[in-house]
Amino acid sequence: MFDPQLIRKDFPILSREVNGKPLVYLDSAATSQKPRQVLDAEREYYEHQNANVHRGAHTLGDESTHLLDVAREKVQLFIVAPRKEEIIFVRNTTEAINLVAYSWGSGYLAKDDVVVTTVMEHHSNMVPWQSAAERRGAKVEVVGLTESGQIDMKDYRKKLELKPKLVAFAHVSNTLGTVNPVAEMTKLAHKAGALVLVDGAQAVPHMPVNVAALGCDFYVFSGHKMLGPMGVGVLWGRKELLEAMPPFLTGGGMIDEVYPDHATWAALPDKFEAGTPNVAGAVGFTSAIDYLEKLSMKDVWEHDRELVAYALQRLSTVPEVKILGIRDSEMRSGSVAFVYSGVHAHDVATILDSEGIAVRSGHHCTMPLHSSMGVAASVRASFSVYTTKDDIDALITALEKVKKVFNT
Amino acid sequence: MDIYREEVLDHYKTPRNQGKLVGDDVLTASGANSSCGDSIKVYLRVTEGKIDEVRWEGSGCAISTAAASKLSQYLQGKTVKALTKMSEDELTREAIGLKVNPGRLKCLMLPATVVRKLLGN
C-alpha cells in the first residue's frame, strides 16, 4: 500500500522547519531527499566494511568489492540492462554524458559529422555535445518543440535526414516535464543510422524504466535524484559500443597492464572507472533502489500521475500563473514549472521560502528552452515519493502571499 | 519578508532614473546574471570628475531593480574619485543597504558590479 504519509516518516529532513514553518520540499527534480535506510546504509558501510576495492587480499577489501558488485547488479536489474558489466558508475548524469561525448566522440565523431539534440535538453545534454563537436569539427543540430512543449517530430525527422552519428535527448524534460516517445524516436534514429543516448535523470526516479525495451544505445541517470546519495550516477551502454570506445579517464583501476611507455585497458566496467570509486555512495544507491522496489515503481508512477494532475489543476486556478508545457498530465512527469505574471521567479521563490516552501527558480539549466519560450526564468515545483497533495496545497496558499506582497 | 518592505517594492514598481543618455561625455557599461535573466545597462554623464546625470535600463527581479534604482540615486553628484575608492560591497552597502540571503546576493550586487566595471579601478 503506497502511503506518502508513512513514507514521509522515513525521511528525517522532512520534519525540520524552515523560517519557522514546516519544510515543504518541492525541489526533488534538483535532488531528492534521502530516507533513513539510505543514510544508515552509507554509515554502516563506513563503520564496518570501508576499504578500497580490487586491492590486495584482505577481508574488508573483498567485502567492499562485493558491495560495489552488488550495487552494479542492482542497477542492472532495475533498468533491465542485458549485462552487468554494461553498468558504469560515474559521479552523476553530467559526467556520464561527458564520458560518452569524450570517449565515443574522440573515437567516432569526425569532421562535418552531425550530432542531434533538442531545445528542451538540460545544459548537461547540450554543452558536452557542443564541446565534442568543436573538438572534432562536427556540428550540433537542435530539434525544436511544438507549442505545447513536445518534441516537434516533423523537425526531428528532418534533422535525421542529415544522417547524424548520434542523437541525444531527455526521457523526461526537467523543465516542461514532457515525457518523450523514446522508443519511437530511437527507432527513427536507428533507421537513419544514428546511435541514441537518452538522458534519464528525470525519468528513472518516477517510472519503471526498461532500457532493453526502449532500444536506445546509452542511458544515463543520477542516484541522488532517486533517493540515493549525491556522487553516484550511471552510464549504461551497449557492451559492444563500450568495448570499442577508448577510455575517458585513465590511471589506477582501469588498466590491464602498464609499461613505462604504454598501457592496456581493463575489461568492462573497470575500463571506464578510473580511480577509487564511490563505494559508500554505491551502497547507499543500492539501498535507495531497494526502497523504491519495495514501494513498487508501478505505484511510484501512479503517485506521480496523481501529483502532476493535482498540481496542474490547482495551479490553473491561480489567475497570475502561466503553466509551462503541455496541460495533459498523462503526457508529463515529475514537475510543473510556471511563470507568475508580473513577479520574477526569484522573487516568487524567496517569498515561498519565507513560508518554508522550497522550489527551484531560474532557468533550471535549460537556457535555450527558456529563450525559445520567451521566458527569462520560471518557478518549478517538483515531486517525489514523499510529496503529498498537502504540499501542493501549501504552495497554492503561499502564492497568495506573493500576490499580497506585490499587490498584483 | 523584510526584503520586500515597502521601500523596495516602491523602487521596483516605480524605478528611479530609468532611461538612456547619449553624448561623448557619457560612460556606459552593462552586465547580466544569465542564471536569472537579470540584465542592466548603466549610463553616467561625468563633468569635471563629478557624476552629473545617471540613467539605467534593464529588466530583472525586484531585488536587482530596486538595487539599480537606489544606486542611481546615490551616484548622483558623487565624484568619480570617491566612488573608485569603494568596493562593490561598500557601494552596495552604502547605496542600497539591503540584506538578502546568499542565494539572492547576485541579484543585489549586479548594479554595483556594473558601476564598478564602468568606473574602473
Q: Is A356:A17 a contact under the CB 8 Å cutoff?
A: yes
Cis peptide before A269 (omega within 30 of 0): yes
Q: What is the mean pLDDT of residues A156-174?
A: 98
Q: Is A170:A180 a contact under the CB 8 Å cutoff?
A: yes
**What is the reported pLDDT for B121?**
59
Q: Grid cell 566612488 — which residue?
A: B83
Which one of B11, B14, B35 makes the best mutation probe of the A interface by having the most chain A beta carbons within 10 Å?
B35
Write the pLDDT tens digit of every residue in A241-257: 999 999 999 999 999 99
Report yes or no: B34 at the A interface, CB cutoff 8 Å: yes
Q: How far is B19 from chain A (nearest CA, A)?
A: 20
Instruction: Give how far the C-alpha of residue A1 lies from the chain's centroid of Cα atoms, to the nearest Å.
Output: 26
Longest dimension (CA), chain B: 43
Q: What is the mean pLDDT of residues A3-11?
A: 97
Residue B34 confidence class, pLDDT cut points 50, 70, 90: confident
A vs B: CB pairs below 8 A: 49
**CA B45 → CA A3, A191, B26, B67, B79, distances in Å?**
65, 63, 4, 20, 11
Write the pLDDT tens digit of every residue in A48-79: 999 999 877 899 999 999 999 999 999 999 99
CATH for A4-30+296-406?
3.90.1150.10
Cβ contact (<8 Å) for A346 and B1? no
Cα–Cα distance measured from residue B65 to residue B70, given in angstroms and rounded to the nearest whole number: 9
Apex CA A233: angle with CA A58 and CA A122, to 5°? 165
Within chain A, how many helices (H) and strands (E) appear? 14, 17
Cα–Cα distance measured from residue B6 to residue A120, given in angstroms and rounded to the nearest whole number: 38
Report yes or no: A350 at the B interface, CB cutoff 8 Å: yes
Report yes or no: A58 at the B interface, CB cutoff 8 Å: no
Write the pLDDT tens digit of every residue in A324-333: 999 999 999 9
Report yes or no: B63 at the A interface, CB cutoff 8 Å: yes
Cβ contact (<8 Å) for B61 and A347? yes
Q: How far is A292 from chain B (nearest CA, A)?
A: 32
Q: Write down the mean pLDDT value for chain A.
A: 97
**What is the reported pLDDT for B38?**
85
Q: Residue A408: is its pLDDT beyond 70?
A: no
Residues of chain A with C-beta less than 8 angstroms from the C-beta of B104 = 346, 350
Within chain B, how many helices (H) and strands (E) appear? 5, 3
Buried b (16+ CB within 10 A) or exposed e, A352-370: bbbbbbbbbbbbbbbbbbb
ipTM over 0.90: no
Report yes or no: B121 at the A interface, CB cutoff 8 Å: no
Residues of chain A with C-beta less than 8 angstroms from the C-beta of B108 = none
The segment(s) of chain A belonging to CATH 3.90.1150.10 are 4-30+296-406
What sign does the dihedral B11-B16-B21-B27 (CA atoms) show?
negative
Cβ contact (<8 Å) for B1 and A405? yes
- B62: cell is 525586484
| Among chain A residues, CA nearest to B38 | A376
SS3 string, B10-61, reads HHHHCCCCECCCCCCCEEEEEEEECCCCEEEEEEEEEECCEEEEEEEEEECC
**What is the reported pLDDT for B47?**
92
Cα–Cα distance measured from residue A124 to residue A94, given in angstroms and rounded to the nearest whole number: 5
Cα–Cα distance measured from residue A118 to residue A317, given in angstroms and rounded to the nearest whole number: 31
- A226: cell is 532517486
- B5: cell is 518592505
CA atoms lying within 13 Å on the CB side of residue A194: 27
**What is the reported pLDDT for B101?**
87
Apex CA A113: angle with CA A267 and CA A197, to 5°? 50
- Long-range CB contacts for residues A65-74, cutoff 8 Å, separation at least 24: A67/A279, A67/A282, A67/A283, A67/A286, A68/A277, A68/A279, A68/A282, A70/A286, A71/A282, A71/A283, A71/A285, A71/A286, A72/A269, A72/A282, A74/A285, A74/A286, A74/A289, A74/A290
Give percent of chain A with pLDDT exceeding 90. Answer: 98
Report yes or no: A353 at the B interface, CB cutoff 8 Å: yes
Q: Residue A177: is its pLDDT beyond 90?
A: yes
The segment(s) of chain A belonging to CATH 3.40.640.10 are 39-293
What CATH number corresponds to the domain at position B65?
3.90.1010.10
Q: Residue A267: is its pLDDT beyond 70?
A: yes
Write the pLDDT tens digit of every residue in A219-240: 999 999 999 999 999 999 999 9
Q: Is A408:A343 a contact under the CB 8 Å cutoff?
A: yes
Report yes or no: B47 at the A interface, CB cutoff 8 Å: no
Which one of A21, A344, A351, A354 makes the best mutation probe of the B interface by having the most chain B beta carbons within 10 Å?
A344
Q: Considering only the beta carbons, identify the residue of B9, B36, B59 that sits closest to A346.
A: B36
What architecture (CATH level 2) is domain A39-293?
3-Layer(aba) Sandwich (3.40)
Which residues span the domain enclosing B54?
2-119
Report yes or no: B26 at the A interface, CB cutoff 8 Å: no
Domain count along chain B: 1
Q: Considering only the beta carbons, identify the residue of A347, A363, A376 that sits closest to B62.
A: A347
Q: Write down the mean pLDDT value for chain B.
A: 91
Q: How far is A39 from chain B (nearest CA, A)?
A: 27
| Among chain A residues, CA nearest to B12 | A406
**What is the reported pLDDT for B1?**
58
Residues of chain B with C-beta less than 8 angstroms from the C-beta of A370 = 37
| Among chain B residues, CA nearest to A375 | B37
DSSP sequence for A110-174? -TT-EEEEETT--GGGTHHHHHHHHHHT-EEEEE-B-TTSSB-HHHHHHHHTT--SEEEEESB-T
Report yes or no: A306 at the B interface, CB cutoff 8 Å: no
Q: How far is B53 from chain A (nearest CA, A)?
A: 29
**What is the reported pLDDT for B59?**
84
Q: Residue A385: is its pLDDT beyond 80?
A: yes
Report yes or no: B62 at the A interface, CB cutoff 8 Å: yes
Residue B92 DSSP label: I
Cβ contact (<8 Å) for B36 and A343? no
Apex CA A237: angle with CA A196 and CA A98, to 5°? 75
Write the pLDDT tens digit of every residue in A301-351: 999 999 999 999 999 999 999 999 999 999 999 999 999 999 999 999 999
Q: Which residues of A form the catalytic set?
A: 365
Cβ contact (<8 Å) for B9 and A363? no
Write the pLDDT tens digit of every residue in B58-100: 988 999 999 999 999 999 999 999 999 998 889 899 999 888 8
Three-state DSSP class for residue A178? strand
Q: How far is A381 from chain B (nearest CA, A)?
A: 17
Cα–Cα distance measured from residue A342 to residue A332, given in angstroms and rounded to the nearest whole number: 26
Predicted TM-score (pTM) of the model is: 0.95
Burial label, B41 (beta-carbon count in 10 A; 0-12, 13-18, 19+) = middle
Cα–Cα distance measured from residue A126 to residue A175, given in angstroms and rounded to the nearest whole number: 15
Q: Residue A176: is its pLDDT beyond 80?
A: yes
Cβ contact (<8 Å) for B63 and A354? no
Cβ contact (<8 Å) for B60 and A344? yes
- A238: cell is 551497449
- A51: cell is 576499504
Q: Grid cell 500500500 — which residue?
A: A1
